[in-house]
């Protein structure tokens, strides 16, 4: 609030929106409220099913809020007993990485070529260049896939060099780092990935493409620079969709001994497990997102922050899982009080909506439709932070984003 007022903005929600994709705080609130309305009926059903399961299988008469995670895991195993270890043999490294490159080639006409004459910081690190159909070098990246001692955990994409036109007129091409922490090859077997790890690889490469395929030549807005952070996850979450498509899994997967692609019955189980308690998950994210947003949009310094009261009010509107009266969730909500997400926690769901809606155009026109891919490349991936992301999205989709595709992807009939 103190930051927003001197800049002539009503409150921190307006201040945060000034650098984000959503155009006004009201647009965000409408989006969150509409999503809550549409997801709630299914959330109530999911909770009723969990209560019935806990009673039938474990004799639990009354499910307490702190029991939910435990019995949900039990129910998920009961319904879709599928383990990562069953899936690993189908995702050897060469299949997953080359499958990713094949997807990118089919939709964008971009080819990845490995170079072995580039200095790297560890013998396992690989270096690739991306070329378009005119054989123009568009960008390059370091690929560091395996976990090892003293390496930071997790998976991320980072920019090594951004694209820019230098003072002497030459063009500096973009370079990215793609870093993961997957298991390395052991006992003569290739590195075998879980399906989640393949999704992670596609996700981070989506960020990488956004950085490397830029056509903007001004440093502050080329690639991922200057992209509002509720839009920066669009290219990455968007790329994940191909990991669930039988047509793509035909070449992304292949048993490391027999070459057989992932069997359909395993994929069906994975899809069902993916959407397990999807509505409850969305409602929880909405509860948190609305709480964050309203705290910042409605803050009045004269009255002080009504933090707990606001959360209780939102829970009545959104939550299907009751909370204990002594619960103090906001005390531990570090994302918005000690992190960078103030008035922006909703962006996780927002990116989900954008990615699903963008992908639904591919579902309509063909998931490997080259023209659709070119349109996404020209309107989203090449533009960096040079234009308003909502305008870019509308240019690609021909309209404002809609919730339907995201709900459908989660199996929610709202």
Whole-angstrom distance, CA of residue 130 vs CA of residue 239:
17
Q: Residue length, the chain?
A: 414
Between the CA of residue 322 and those of 61, 293, 319, what are the distances in Å? 16, 21, 7
Alpha carbon distance, N-terminus to C-terminus of the chain = 36
Residue closest to 383 by CA, chosen among 204, 228, 269: 228
Alpha helices by DSSP H, listed for 169-242, are: 195-212, 234-239
Pairing state between β 137-146 and 175-182: parallel
Q: Are 107 and 373 in contact (CB under 8 A)?
A: yes
Whole-angstrom distance, CA of residue 364 vs CA of residue 105:
20
Whole-angstrom distance, CA of residue 82 vs CA of residue 98:
25
Catalytic residues: 204
Q: Tokens in use for 278?
A: 């999807």
Sequence-separated contacts (24+) of 68-72 with Cβ below 8 Å = 68/321, 72/276, 72/277
Whole-angstrom distance, CA of residue 101 vs CA of residue 242:
12
């Amino acid at each position: 609030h103190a930051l927003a007022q001197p800049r002539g903005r009503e409150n921190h929600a307006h201040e945060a929106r000034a650098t984000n994709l959503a155009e006004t705080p009201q647009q965000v609130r409408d989006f969150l409220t509409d999503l809550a309305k549409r997801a709630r009926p299914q959330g109530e059903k999911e909770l009723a099913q969990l209560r019935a399961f806990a009673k039938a299988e474990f004799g639990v008469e009354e499910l307490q809020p702190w029991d939910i995670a435990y019995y949900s895991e039990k129910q998920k195993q009961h319904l879709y007993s599928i383990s990562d270890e069953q899936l690993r043999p189908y995702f050897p490294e060469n299949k997953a990485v080359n499958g990713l490159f094949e997807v990118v080639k089919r939709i964008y006409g971009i080819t990845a070529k490995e170079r072995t004459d580039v200095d790297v910081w560890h013998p396992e690190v690989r270096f690739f260049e991306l070329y378009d159909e005119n054989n123009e070098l568009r960008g390059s990246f370091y690929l560091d896939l395996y976990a090892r001692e003293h390496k930071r955990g997790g998976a991320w994409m980072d920019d090594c060099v951004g694209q820019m036109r230098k003072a002497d007129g030459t063009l500096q091409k973009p370079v990215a780092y793609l870093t993961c922490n997957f298991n390395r090859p052991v006992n003569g077997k290739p590195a075998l990935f879980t399906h989640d790890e393949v999704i992670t690889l596609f996700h981070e490469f989506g960020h990488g493409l956004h950085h490397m395929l830029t056509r903007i030549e001004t440093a502050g807005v080329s690639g991922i620079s200057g992209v509002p952070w509720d839009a920066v996850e669009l290219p990455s979450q968007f790329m994940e969709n191909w990991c669930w498509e039988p047509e793509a899994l035909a070449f992304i997967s292949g048993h490391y001994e027999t070459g057989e692609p992932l069997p359909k019955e395993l994929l069906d189980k994975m899809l069902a497990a993916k959407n397990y308690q999807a509505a409850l998950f969305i409602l929880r994210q909405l509860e948190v997102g609305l709480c964050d947003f309203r705290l910042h949009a409605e803050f009045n310094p004269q009255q002080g922050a009504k933090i707990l009261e606001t959360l209780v009010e939102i829970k009545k509107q959104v939550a299907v899982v009751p909370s204990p009266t002594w619960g103090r969730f906001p005390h531990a909500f570090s994302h918005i009080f000690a992190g960078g997400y103030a008035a922006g926690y909703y962006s996780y769901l927002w990116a989900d909506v954008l990615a699903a809606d963008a992908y639904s155009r591919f579902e309509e026109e063909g998931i490997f439709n080259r023209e659709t891919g070119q349109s996404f490349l020209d309107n989203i991936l090449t533009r960096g932070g040079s234009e308003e992301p909502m305008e870019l999205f509308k240019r690609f989709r021909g309209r404002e984003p809609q919730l339907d595709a995201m709900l459908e992807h989660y199996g929610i009939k709202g």
